[in-house]
Chains A and B, each alone.
Chain A
Amino acid sequence: EIVLTQSPGTLSLSPGERATLSCRASQSVSSSYLAWYQQKPGQAPRLLIYGASSRATGIPDRFSGSGSGTDFTLTISRLEPEDFAVYYCQQYGSLFTFGPGTKVDIK
């Protein structure tokens, strides 16, 4: 089973700042089958990024994904008030596993 580790656990930033979230896999994720989700309290997760770097339908271009192999990054270029949430990475190259999440909260 591929284990995903996300860092940091919590990221405290102000609106307008840049957020950089990391997702590291215990072994290489085949074909960059790595997705990122955003989850707000009381809501289901929302798909942001798939294939490591492709934005899902309707996702603003301030969200971008990068990486390959075992190291992946989600970047939010300028935080908007609605971006404060928990972010999960998920690999789907070998079964399906999720990371533990990174909470982005308001500084």
Chain B
Amino acid sequence: QVQLQESGPGLVKPSQTLSLTCTVSGGSISSGGYYWSWIRQHPGKGLEWIGYIYYSGSTYYNPSLKSRVTISVDTSKNQFSLKLSSVTAADTAVYYCATYYDFPPVDYWGQGTLVTVSS
């Protein structure tokens, strides 16, 4: 069974780039079929899909975030990453890495990591 674990700074300054990594265990990130995803949840609020990357490298990003988001894969470390540029306080949220096989919806989630944007 696939397990996911987020890591990265819990505090980011405004205008900087938020960078998070998700380590995958229980499966190979380069095996076909999985869509490696990032989803966030603002404090006390609902869920927002950020985007995903397929093992082939193809990506999909939420149009509302597309200009600031990059998702990439590091097959040598069995990890995938999120970069969100030019952050503001509105990007403060719990960030989840997640995945599904072949077709949505997401059925594997990391535990989530809180990222606060503040000077």
Contact = CB atoms under 8 A, between A and B. Distances in A.
Q: B interface, by DSSP: helix, strand, loop or mixed?
A: loop
A44 B112 CA distance: 7
Nearest to B4: A44
Interface stretch (A15-23, A67-75, A96-104): A96-104
Interface residues of A, number: 22
Interface string B50-69: 00000000001011000000
Interface in B28-71: 45-49, 60, 62-63
Given A95-B49, A98-B47, A44 B104 contact: no
A49 to B, nearest CB: 9
Interface of B: 45-49, 60, 62-63, 96, 98, 104-107, 109-112
Interface of A: 1, 33, 35, 37, 43-47, 50, 56-57, 88, 90, 92, 95-101
